[in-house]
Structure 1
């Protein structure tokens, strides 16, 4: 998808069940707002990317803990 028209055609070609998902509805609204009022195209890009990646969850509970407030002092080594 390069243009707003490409994004609109892609969304309209989706199956009805997927088309009704809240993420796609938000992407459609953002696309319409950008097309009608000439707003920043980043809004529509963010909406489409969030809808495309809605099932991808990047969460690792066993990952590294945040480093803030855990700094070791020289006296604690």
Structure 2
């Protein structure tokens, strides 16, 4: 709410106000599993281990 007032009164950063409003509107919505692949970090195999 403060970020929205800052934008309205003093030409503050509009992105912060947008993020705050979107978080307030979606606060009771759960995250959805998007079906993305797991990251591969730390899972590389050496040639000799294949």
Give the structure-1-normalised TM-score.
0.49
How far did residue 59 of structure 1 move? 6.3
* CA apart distance, 1:37: 1.7
- Name which one, 1 or 2, has greater alpha-carbon Rg: 2
TM-score normalized by the length of structure 2? 0.67
Question: Structure 2: any 5+ residue segments left out of the alignment?
Answer: none
Instruction: Give the distance between the partners of 1:44 and 1:70, measured in 2 at CA.
Output: 40
Structure 1 unaligned runs (5+)? 1-27
- Which secondary structure state, in structure 1, belongs to the residue aligned with residue 18 of structure 2? helix
Structure with the bigger percentage of helix:
1
